[in-house]
Structure 1
């Protein structure tokens, strides 16, 4: 009987062009190795899609299987499942090991082959499950473990020049989707029809701008009427009616990098009560943009926008924080939780950070002006202010359509 390996290297074909140059990944890994030294860690074992993508360029598709990136002082190795064959190696910076599934926990045996036993192991508390942490302890027998969630998150918060270029491109693609949606809005159209128009336009634009990329997960949430009450409500087949409030949300995904455009719209006309809320939310949006300055803290910005709404007796309609970081994230992975515009976040804005301004008010069904009002721009913090990289217009002058 032929023995089957627990893991092996399947370096099939040639390395593909990644979303960034090798030098970019080398710089990121060098920054990580400094984190390891500073924390007395011998090997980082990352399991999250965002950190694996950030440090190696490989964005995995789990489908019930675990993936990893192991970084030591000399090694940078992705660990992938056999179902993916050679694609993880082609699409990663550094080495790759494939684990087999004929025996449970070959994943951990592959990781062990890189880390060895008795080492200080870094992991991510925001991602590693209790079950997998138990297996880490059992297979690697670490002398100690250190949580690297926060220091790696803080590294990801500060974008390189190459990342900023990628994020600017993503914002431009989101605008393309926005204009396609605006053109598709008309009485009687279904939410799904309008959403598909925006998605298709963005995917074509991404393929034009990034011919060597992998394409996945670009999407649109286009909501109407009562469906606008939540920011993440799925698309339906509801047909648009004259006077409907609409929420335009375009989300291009480019090699693991998410960007967004969100706008309030109305079909044909907007009533006075709705206009009052809409204009107030636009005012909060403009105020928020002006407050995103280097040296300001997330909590300070939040408090000032809260005061703006409180003066208008509208603060009770606020539904979530006013913005968040951008980079390697998506609707199902990643989050730089230390850079969100909330009362409990004291992070100070610094040049090179990227953050959204996205105030939202929700008025309950049956009340005058019912619906969800939301605007969303992406801002790069600069040395002396910010750069707004969202181009699609906001407000009633442009967004009463159909």
Structure 2
């Protein structure tokens, strides 16, 4: 909804398009915000809201009937809706002869190509991410006695605030064995020599768009353990192989297969080599990446499920390798797919 009507509206409303007409069922409270985007206002009061209230209908029944009347006002007899379309509204529309078809691809297609406003927001969010990651790197390398994951996270949040972005409380600063546990946020004191995976996703306040990046460090800044150094080497190799094939038209499944090659060659487990039906907790146990925009995780898929990349996609590229009880390494960039290739939006070194 925010992609089509990029303004703050608290109450739920129906957005409709038909034969060049764009309309929304917003009240006078939000009408001024919406008309600025060339959208026709279908105020619930002009659709009989007063009569529905007087008849004693509850809120859900009123919302569903207003949606039906708005649909009929735009002469819509059949429509495509996204998977998240409210079930109670769909039931009411269908019961009154409106044919609805769930068409995820239609709505994903429109959102995947970012508007200039969205792309500017993603760039701002990534600048905040780069700055925050620099703060994390300094703290983790200095490693003053008793430094905790929570303190690193708080310092990064303060940096993102300075850049007009917000950083959620559950972003990842996982150290030691914690760094091998999926989306474990990380907690407690960081010990010298441990791997520390820092995975952050700030959101730009103006555009509501996210970014996403990951780097891995050695606590205290010393020489990495041999196992971590191997994971880093394999992950850098994985990134290099992906970037060689990345661009418009590239298939997400093929890119994932390409990213898996170094790990397979080194004898590490991957999703492509595990036994069907088993849970993979070591090696390269996740996909290559995902789309980023108004959601942190959105299409296109870049893993065992796939999409072909198109210009305007913003995607992560984030291979990694892990072992339970030890830890892991993940390196993640965010990338804009262009007409003739790609642009890496992340501006931060990969060094451990």
What SS does the aligned partner of 1:380 have? strand
Deviations 1:294-349 (A, max 9, x none): 33221221222222221111243112110111222136xxx22xx2211331x333
The TM-score normalised by the length of structure 1 is 0.70
Contact 2:68/2:93 (8 A) holds in 1: no
1:5 corresponds to which residue?
Answer: none
Contact 1:58/1:88 (8 A) holds in 2: no
- Aligned mates of 1:154, 1:324 — CA distance in 2: 14
- Aligned mates of 1:228, 1:79 — CA distance in 2: 46
What SS does the aligned partner of 2:3 have? helix
1:152 corresponds to which residue?
Answer: 107
Q: Out of 277, 294, 312, which is 1:352 matched to?
A: 312
- Aligned mates of 2:15, 2:350 — CA distance in 1: 41
Matches within 5 A, 1:172-321: 172-185=127-140, 186=143, 187-206=145-164, 220-236=171-187, 238-254=188-204, 255-268=207-220, 269=222, 270-316=224-270, 317-321=283-287
**Shift in alpha-carbon separation, 1:129–1:77, aligned structure 2, 3 A:** closer
Cα distance, 1:96 vs. partner?
A: 7.5
What SS does the aligned partner of 2:106 have? helix
**Shift in alpha-carbon separation, 1:86–1:173, aligned structure 2, 3 A:** farther
**Shift in alpha-carbon separation, 1:162–1:66, aligned structure 2, 3 A:** closer
1:120 corresponds to which residue?
Answer: 78
Deviations 1:33-77 (A, max 9, x none): xxxxxxxxxxxxxxxxxxx0110014666xxx8554333442321
1:39 corresponds to which residue?
Answer: none
Contact 1:184/1:197 (8 A) holds in 2: no
- Aligned mates of 2:31, 2:214 — CA distance in 1: 33
**Shift in alpha-carbon separation, 1:172–1:88, aligned structure 2, 3 A:** farther
The TM-score normalised by the length of structure 2 is 0.79
Contact 1:219/1:252 (8 A) holds in 2: no
**Shift in alpha-carbon separation, 1:144–1:283, aligned structure 2, 3 A:** same
Cα distance, 1:194 vs. partner?
A: 0.8
1:391 corresponds to 2:347: yes
Write out the 4+ residue segments of structure 1 that deviate beyond 6 Å after TM superposition.
98-102
1:378 corresponds to 2:300: no
- Aligned mates of 1:275, 1:308 — CA distance in 2: 14
**Shift in alpha-carbon separation, 1:302–1:96, aligned structure 2, 3 A:** same
- Aligned mates of 1:129, 1:315 — CA distance in 2: 41
1:43 corresponds to which residue?
Answer: none
1:134 corresponds to which residue?
Answer: 91
- Aligned mates of 2:121, 2:328 — CA distance in 1: 30
Cα distance, 1:395 vs. partner?
A: 2.5
Contact 1:218/1:253 (8 A) holds in 2: no
Over aligned residues, Cα RMSD in angstroms? Answer: 3.0
How many pairs does the alignment contain?
A: 317
- Aligned mates of 1:351, 1:97 — CA distance in 2: 37
- Aligned mates of 2:15, 2:169 — CA distance in 1: 25
Contact 1:89/1:96 (8 A) holds in 2: no
Q: Identify the range of structure 1 (245-254 vs 180-189) with the bigger mean alpha-carbon deviation.
A: 180-189
1:44 corresponds to which residue?
Answer: none
